[in-house]
């Protein structure tokens, strides 16, 4: 009789018709038999971190992006707040900006230019989860350098470049003002590639600074360090949408209902339904009679941020020069005309021959294919044409054999067909195989670039099967979303695929860098 180990559990009950010795033997026998029949226990490994980024879509509202990241680590939730565009305007990648904040090496929470105030407010909320509230700039650890220190290669080291010329691209009668701006880079020795952007440090309209000084009854020559307050307001300070810190500051200078209102505004609440219209001047005018210390006022306002513009030229066409395609922004609110700071600076306020501070922002996954024989499809309505003009100039300069197709659109053909002579000449020479045009105000029904894509869906899908790269540039919230949706529909229809398969097809284009976007 073989010997079995004692079972740790009683399989044969004590009242069974066996002796004690028999019961112990049977318990051991059945226990060993059951143990041998069980599959081996797999080693338990730690769950892998989810590195997917479903929120990487600037067209999504911030609340939707945050819901997608709700169970993720703090750093990833910060990246979701930024929409993870990796535009580079903050001087970081989104991941490194989030890391710098969580490591308490970066106190500035307002550097995300595309995200604006909504992102800054969400980052403030997330920082408060770390304990201790918003970081004190004087107590943080020094941040590690994110960008090169070479002149003109990052926002922290801009260089002077001369404004050469500008001309209006719209015809007489257009509802828009769009300027073709030429800038001389030769003195700075800066170079760039098609697909890159130019960062521009603009200046505020002097009349806006004067209005702020008048609202506060502060003399223009009030000294701030070695400069006048007026110069600091014009050259160094963001005077756009009022930051939360300004309303907090105002709450310390007022009392009663006005204090409660300022506190509500600082929390992002909207007691009077006008928070979206409150730039710095409007915010100060909303609380008349306050008398802030000028130095304290400057401290609570945000510094001037650079504005990125997609470069609309190839360095192979005119070496040492760069061109931009700039929509000049003006609109009226409450009996006052607001001016886009950078667009009006480049569009008409800066003098020809004046030096402006600039830097080259290298493109993040937005470039021509390495093989010039690869076909390209470009969708860029309005100023979205800018990088594609650069692409076409580049391909023309190297006599690229690959086919090119441009979808361009605007309001009216007679007044808003930017670079029409150049594009028609490229079409005539076969540099552009296809030029599809959409005019939203020329007919009874509005026609947009996505409609032209659907019309040419069979050929567009054929180009994709031949390996074409697909590019899009322009408005993220509406146009880019509609274009992607139309592309999915085209793939489904002409590829005989279901909707989920078509979405997977487009997702694979993105994964393999055959679908690239420059959206804002």
In percent, the amount of the chain with pLDDT more than 90 equals 67
Predicted local distance difference test score (pLDDT) of residue 129: 85
Phi, then psi, of 224 in degrees rounded to 5:
-125, 110
Residues 74-103 pLDDT 10s? 999 999 998 777 777 777 888 888 888 988
- Locate 336 and state its tokens: 């006052």
Residue 162: pLDDT band (50, 70, 90) is very high
Residue 128: pLDDT band (50, 70, 90) is confident
The architecture in CATH of the region 206-300 reads Up-down Bundle (1.20)
Predicted local distance difference test score (pLDDT) of residue 139: 52
Question: Which fold, 376-519?
Answer: Rossmann fold (3.40.50)
Residues 338-378 pLDDT 10s? 999 999 999 999 999 999 999 999 988 899 999 999 999 99
> Which of 283, 191, 194, 290 lies closest to 241 in space, CA to CA?
283
User: Between 42 and 185, whose confidence is greater?
Assistant: 185
* pTM, full prediction: 0.84
Residues 6+ apart with CB under 8 A from 405: 375, 376, 377, 378, 432, 433, 434, 435, 436, 460, 463, 468
- Locate 317 and state its tokens: 């066409």
Does CATH number 2.40.30.10 belong to domain 159-202+306-361?
A: yes
- Locate 422 and state its tokens: 């150049």
Do 206-300 and 376-519 share a fold? no
In percent, the amount of the chain with pLDDT more than 70 equals 88
Predicted local distance difference test score (pLDDT) of residue 145: 44
Cα–Cα distance measured from residue 509 to residue 199, given in angstroms and rounded to the nearest whole number: 29
Residue 11 has pLDDT above 50, yes or no: yes
Provide the 8-state DSSP code for 198: E
Strand-by-strand arrangement of the 178-184 sheet = 307-310, 197-201, 355-361, 159-168, 178-184, 321-327
> Which of 351, 350, 311, 323 lies closest to 183 in space, CA to CA?
323
Residue 104: pLDDT band (50, 70, 90) is confident
For the ranges 34-43, 112-121, 222-231, the one whose mean pLDDT is highest: 222-231
How do the domains of the chain map onto residue ranges?
A: 1-44, 46-145, 159-202+306-361, 206-300, 376-519
Residues 275-314 pLDDT 10s? 999 999 999 999 999 999 999 999 999 999 999 999 999 9
Rounded to the nearest integer, the mean pLDDT of the chain is 89
């Amino acid at each position: 009789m073989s010997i079995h180990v004692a079972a740790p559990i009683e399989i044969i009950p004590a009242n069974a018709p066996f002796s004690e010795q028999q019961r112990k033997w049977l318990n051991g026998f059945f226990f060993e038999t059951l143990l041998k029949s069980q599959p081996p226990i797999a080693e338990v490994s730690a769950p892998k971190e989810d590195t997917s980024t479903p929120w990487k879509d600037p067209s999504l509202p911030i609340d939707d992006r945050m819901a997608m990241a709700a169970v993720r680590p703090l750093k990833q939730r910060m990246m979701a707040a930024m929409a993870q565009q990796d535009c580079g305007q903050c001087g970081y990648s989104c991941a490194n900006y989030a890391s710098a904040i969580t490591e308490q090496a970066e106190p500035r929470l307002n550097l995300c230019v595309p995200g604006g105030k909504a992102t800054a407010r969400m980052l403030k909320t997330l920082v408060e989860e770390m304990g201790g509230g918003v970081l004190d700039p004087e107590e943080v650890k020094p941040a590690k350098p994110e960008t090169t220190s070479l002149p003109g290669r990052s926002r922290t080291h801009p260089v002077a470049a001369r404004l050469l010329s500008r001309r209006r691209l719209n015809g007489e009668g257009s509802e828009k003002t769009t300027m073709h701006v030429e800038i001389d880079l030769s003195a700075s020795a800066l170079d760039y590639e098609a697909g890159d952007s130019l960062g521009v440090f603009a200046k505020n309209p002097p009349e806006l600074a004067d209005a702020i000084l008048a609202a506060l009854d502060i003399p223009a020559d009030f000294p701030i360090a070695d400069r006048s307050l007026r110069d600091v307001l014009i050259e160094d300070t963001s005077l756009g949408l009022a930051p939360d810190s300004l309303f907090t500051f105002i709450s310390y200078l007022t009392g009663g209902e006005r204090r409660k209102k300022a506190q509500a505004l600082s929390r992002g609440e909207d007691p009077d339904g006008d928070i979206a219209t409150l730039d710095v001047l409007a915010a100060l005018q909303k609380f008349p009679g306050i008398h802030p210390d000028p130095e304290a006022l400057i401290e609570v306002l945000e510094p001037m941020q650079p504005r990125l513009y997609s470069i609309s030229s190839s360095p192979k066409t005119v070496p040492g020069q760069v061109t931009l395609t700039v929509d000049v922004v003006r609109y009226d609110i409450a009996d006052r005309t607001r001016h886009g700071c950078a667009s009006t600076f480049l569009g008409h306020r800066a003098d020809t021959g004046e030096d402006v501070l600039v830097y080259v922002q290298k493109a993040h996954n937005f470039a021509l294919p390495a093989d010039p024989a690869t076909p390209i499809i470009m969708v860029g309505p309005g100023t979205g044409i800018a990088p594609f003009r650069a692409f076409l100039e580049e391909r023309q300069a190297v006599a690229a054999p690959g086919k090119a197709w441009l979808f361009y659109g605007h309001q009216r053909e007679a007044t808003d067909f930017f670079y029409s002579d150049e594009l028609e000449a490229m079409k005539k020479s076969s540099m552009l195989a296809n030029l599809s045009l959409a005019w939203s105000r020329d007919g009874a029904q509005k026609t947009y670039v996505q409609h032209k894509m659907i019309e040419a869906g069979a050929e567009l899908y054929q180009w994709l099967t031949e390996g074409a790269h697909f590019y899009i540039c322009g408005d993220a919230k509406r146009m880019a979303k509609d274009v992607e949706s139309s592309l999915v529909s085209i793939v489904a229809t002409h590829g005989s695929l279901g909707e989920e398969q078509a979405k997977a097809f487009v997702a694979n284009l993105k994964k393999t860098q055959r679908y690239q976007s420059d959206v804002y």
